[in-house]
Structure 1
Amino acid sequence: MSRKTVPLSVLDLAPISSGADAGTALRNTVDLARHAEEWGYHRYWLAEHHLATGVASSQPALVIGLVAGATRTIRVGSGAVQLGFPTALSVVEQFGTLDAIAPGRVDLGLGRAGQRVARDGGLPVPLPEPRPTRTVDGVVVPPPFAPGKLLGLPGFAARQELLRPPGAQPRDYAEQVDEIRALLAGTFRTPDGHPVQAVPGEGAALQLWVLGSSGGESARVAGARGLPFTANYHVSPGTILETVAAYRAAFVPTAEHPAPRVQVSADVLVAEDEPTARRLAAGYGPWVRAIRTGQGAIPYPTPEEAADLELDDEELALVDDRLATRFVGTPDRVAEGLARLRDLTEADELLITTIAHDHAARLRSYRLLAETWGIGGG
């Protein structure tokens, strides 16, 4: 499959750079979305992150509305709504509203992050089976990261509880996905048989996706329902092969999706030359370290600030899987790496996330990749 037949899409966290604020980050998001549309990217998704000083995408539906209003043709959506916090009805109403203002181009990506925290927070989580870093068909596959290290940090689960009404417990993930589908289709019934209509929402032309970072529940739920699936290589590169395999194994064809549809995410930073790319990438290690030590994403540092945030050996071990699997370099080098990832996973689409301190550098990275991949205009 040639590069041009594999769409590229954008995953945006609305990162806040050091010295800037959330307003600047959100204006940058709208600006990047306009350019992504011009450069031929297929979708523009907003992530959902909470309780972090370095990202402004805590309410993706609101930001998607801003992006939809500033663009005309690019698909817009979530990557992903964390179903551990809202109800199925509130999600359908929010995204039904988005479909009403941008009909036919809204994606609803669903994730399980909040549910996993509610289930596992504060409890022992089995460690993944140890294994060395592998290179499979030119793609780095590191040992899996153990999420229990993060979930078990003091206060982590309590912080997550701030996102729910007191005493509320998240619903079963598969049940919530089914409720969302029923509300959209107009077939939802209460336990005593009464119909419920979500307005806006019922009949909305949303494209449903499930995002997952392992071969567990998310992959199985997506496959069993014949939904398209995003495998998060940029979050959990060590489990990418198991994740994709589990989804394909569970897949049940439907009229809408007769075959599995796989999107794979990747963290990317492109510059005209290798030294520039490496310099711009310097803040990534400290940024990931903050996330994995429970602090949450920090304002993204400048290359100069990153030099003062040098990681020790223990911290490097904590983030090494993410550093080793970020695609950094010249346009040709990064495009070659992404092509290998596509071939290994047989991905139908790649979801690109790029973070840099300087907005202009971030724009340049997406533009250079689009030109080299051959997806559209200039």
Structure 2
Amino acid sequence: MTVPLSVLDLAPLVDGGDARDALRRTLDLARSAEEFGYHRYWVAEHHLTPGVASSQPAVLLGAIASVTDRIRLGSGALQTGFLTPLAALEQFGLLDALYPGRFDLGLGRSAQRRKSDISGTASAPASAEPDQERIVDGLLIPKHYNYQVLLRSGRAQLWFKLLKQPGAEPHDLDTVVEDIEILRSGPYTDGEGNEARAVPGEGADLQLWILGSSGGESARVAGARGLPFAANYHVAPAKVLEAVEAYRAAFTPSKVLSAPHVMVSADVLVADDDETAAELALPYALWVRSVRKGGAVPWPTLEQARRHQWTEEDRELVKDRVDTQFVGSPQTVVDRLATLRRVTGADELLITTMAYDHRDRVRSYELLAKHWQS
């Protein structure tokens, strides 16, 4: 069964480039994705990252909407730890007022640290899956990478200081979703005769999505509220089956969905043949290394990737992501993505592709769309 393909874009900078160049490439890629027949175009939310320009999804989506006509647009994901439910709805309500019926409000709790993470005393939550590499019906499920070390770093503390108001404590995800839905249906009342209305936002024609990287709160909230769920194989491949299983186990039919609806993400690079694709993908490992060392750098050149001296420690640091990137000729990648879809039961796939040369990136999306539909 062929399912729809969509795009996830981080608006990556490349070595020697700047944010202006990255955002111009994003606008061009969005136009191309619409032409190639992709279903959605989502942008990420990343802050204080030298290699990524997608820091404000609503602002960027407005620019993308102005140069496209049909493709659905959304956030993958708006980080609920850094803004209120009202602010989230107002941003996307404004977009819907300008470009009606085209937007997905994708929410994630990735910026919401557990209280124990702040103190630095707790260990990472135990995984429901064995912490060893395995193959499940042809799909690689690697060892789990623990991000808690980064969250407890001095750099992370600085970032959270800059991103959050002093003393502010984010709502749990279920409360965020509930408040957005109440405000969207309007008015929001306090039980004492006072009310508030979100303008724009009330009555907005938005699709609400939850994104998650494990079988935790995000998957459970999406399922219990009968909302569509996006699982991150490209960020947390070790947890993807846990995530979709938890979502389906919690699913309760709603006015939005009568049955679970899952989109699964994947890192992809397609070229005319396997050898060319492998060459173009060389900088990926170096870029992932930078992410896990504390912040994504601008996308490296091929020469930088060839010159880098890898230690065994560094290779182990990026292994799960490198091994689960889908790289190759159109047929090679289509076959592997078909396995991902089959094993996860995905109803859609969300494709993220990066390359140093913008033409290679656009060509990858073009080749994949052409061969996926054939």
Corresponding residue number in structure 1 for 2:361: 362
> 1:275: Cα distance to partner?
1.6
Which structure 2 segments of 5+ residues have no match? none
Task: Give the structure 2 partner of residue 221 of structure 1.
Answer: 221
Out of 75, 78, 82, which is 1:81 matched to?
78
Structure 2: distance between partners of 1:118 and 1:98: 34
How high is the TM-score relative to the length of structure 1?
0.95
Residue identity opposite 1:189 in structure 2: T
The answer to whether structure 1 residue 59 and structure 2 residue 90 are counterparts is: no
Asked if the contact 1:121/1:152 (under 8 Å) is kept, the reply is yes
SS of the aligned residue for 2:361 comes to helix
Distance in 1, Cα, partners of 2:68 & 2:372: 22
Corresponding residue for 1:133?
133
Aligned to 1:329: 328
- Give the counterpart letter for 1:226 in structure 2: G
Equivalent position of 1:372 in the other structure: 371
Look up the match of 1:352.
Answer: 351
Instruction: For residue 154 of structure 1, report the CA deviation from its aligned partner.
Output: 2.6
Tell me, in whole angstroms, the C-alpha distance in 2 between the residues paired with 1:40 and 1:287.
29
> Could you say if the C-alpha distance between residues 191 and 214 of structure 1 is closer, same or farther in structure 2, counting changes exceeding 3 Å?
farther
Q: For 2:168, what is the secondary structure of its paired residue?
A: coil
Partner of 2:154, secondary structure, is coil
Deviation of 1:118 (Å): 6.4
Q: Once the 2 structures are TM-superposed, how far is the Cα of residue 265 of structure 1 from its aligned partner?
A: 0.3
Aligned residue in 2 for 1:303: 302
Deviation at 1:114, TM superposition (A): 1.2
CA contact (8 A) 2:330 2:371 kept: yes
1:190 to partner: Cα distance: 3.1
Q: Which aligned pairs between 1:171-250 and structure 2 lie closer than 5 A?
A: 171-190=171-190, 192-250=192-250
* 1:98 counterpart residue number: 95
Secondary structure of 2:106 counterpart: strand
Separation (CA, whole Å) in 1 of partners of 2:114 and 2:96? 30
SS at match of 2:169: coil
SS at match of 1:116: coil
| Equivalent AA in structure 2 for residue 68 of structure 1 | A
Q: Distance in 2 between matches of 1:171 and 1:161?
A: 17
CA distance in 1, matches of 2:308, 2:166: 38
Q: Does 1:37 align with 2:41?
A: no
TM-aligned CA distance change 1:128 to 1:287, over 3 Å: farther
Matched residues, percent identical?
A: 56
Residue deviations 1:284-318, cap 9 Å, x none? 11111111121x11000011111233331111111
Shift of 1:128: 4.3
Contact preservation (8 Å) 2:274, 2:332: no
Letter in 2 for 1:44: Y
Query: Aligned equivalents of 2:274 and 2:119: distance in 1?
Result: 42
1:115 match: secondary structure: coil
1:159-174 maps to which residues of 2 (within 5 A)? 159-174=159-174
| Aligned position for 2:340 | 341
Structure 1 residue 132: Cα displacement: 2.0
| Alignment-derived partner of residue 45 in structure 2 | 48
Residue 116 of structure 1: CA displacement?
Answer: 2.4
CA 1:193–1:163: 2 relative to 1, 3 Å: farther
2:149 corresponds to: 149
- 1-side partners of 2:350 and 2:215: how far apart? 19
How far apart, in 2, do the equivalents of 1:119 and 1:60 lie? 29
- Alpha-carbon distance between aligned partners in 1 of 2:277 and 2:192, rounded to the nearest angstrom: 59
SS in 1 for 2:248: helix
Deviation at 1:165, TM superposition (A): 1.6
* TM-superposed deviation, 1:187: 4.4
Distance 1:159 1:309 in 2: 28
Match of 2:19 among 19, 22, 25: 22
Cα deviation, residue 149, structure 1: 2.0
SS in 2 for 1:45: strand
The range that moved more, 192-201 or 177-186, is 192-201
Q: Distance in 2 between matches of 1:265 and 1:202?
A: 30
Deviates more, 1:226-235 or 1:272-281: 272-281
Query: Taking structure 1 as reference, are residues 275 and 122 closer, same or farther at Cα in structure 2, changes over 3 Å only?
Result: farther
Q: CA deviation at 1:280?
A: 0.8
| Residue number in structure 1 paired with 2:112 | 115
**Alignment correspondent of 2:312:** 313
Contact 1:115/1:170 (8 A) holds in 2: yes
Q: Cα offset for 1:127?
A: 5.8
CA shift at 1:193, angstroms?
4.9
SS in 1 for 2:196: coil
CA deviation vs aligned residue, 1:198-237 (integer Å, no higher than 9, x gap): 0000000000000000000000010010000000000000
